[in-house]
Amino acid sequence: MSRIGNHPIPLPAKVEVTLAPGAITVKGPLGTLSRQYGAGRYGDALSIEQDGNNLVCKAASEAAKPMHGTLRALVANMVKGVSVGFERKLTLVGVGYRAQAAGDKVNLSLGFSHPVVHTMPQGVKVETPVQTEILVKGIDKQAVGQVAAEIRAYRPPEPYKGKGCPLRERAGRHQGNEEEVGSPGDSRRRPRPVPAAGGDDPGRLGSGMISRKDPR
């Protein structure tokens, strides 16, 4: 039995749940979501029961155990979506890159010879607080993540300077390694000092010259 599937799902205030054989409907302040879960090879082996202010997912057969935790996660996302909602944030990195939301569409300038217009599916909204920031919002976690991935695919961030449309939650390799060579936060080897020009005394060390006794 899945340990995740055994965890009950608490129901926030103003969230209503309607259970039917092989189906569940969750209604909240932000909207309504429905899902079928009893179809296919699992049949009636998967079930959802309401115990007071909690939802409990159960698996009655060995074949249904692999889907036990998955069903619990999907239902928990439905409850969170109708009560709080989901949001994915993208940041445009690049000279001249900008975005402008217009209703259910977002206009993107990503360095191409033509503007890119992406239309939001039903139930997903887009906002652009500033020209270089895109917020994708909705009650369906899968739909919000899919739209964010599609926008990111127009100009995926390159691994060196991060130019493109990186997701804010997924920092690129370039972030966190922006210290200059020789700075306190830099772990790379610093260049060895160059010996100074010759002086009057051949045995005297000039400014920056490394002694022969230096272990380096």
15 close to 28: Cβ distance less than 8 angstroms:
yes
> Which superfamily, per CATH, for 3-83?
Ribosomal protein L6 (3.90.930.12)
**Structure tokens belonging to residue 20:** 């039917």
Q: How many CB atoms lie within 10 A of CB 38?
A: 18
DSSP labels, 19-38:
EETTEEEEEETTEEEEEE-S
- The ranges assigned to domains in the chain are 3-83, 86-154
Residue 49, beta-bridge partner list:
56
Q: What is the pTM of this model?
A: 0.72
- How far is Cα 141 from Cα 65, in angstroms, rounded to an integer? 23
Q: How many CB atoms lie within 10 A of CB 11?
A: 18
Domains 3-83 and 86-154 share a fold: yes
Q: Digits of tens for pLDDT over the chain (216 positions)? A: 568 888 999 999 999 999 988 899 999 999 999 998 876 666 678 889 998 899 999 888 887 888 888 999 999 999 999 999 999 999 999 898 999 999 999 999 998 999 899 999 999 999 999 999 999 999 999 999 999 999 999 999 888 888 888 876 543 344 433 333 344 444 455 555 555 555 555 455 454 545 555 555
CATH 3.30.70.990 fits 86-154, yes or no: no
Nearest Cα neighbor of 82 from 145, 141, 36, 127 is 141
Residue 146, beta-bridge partner list:
none
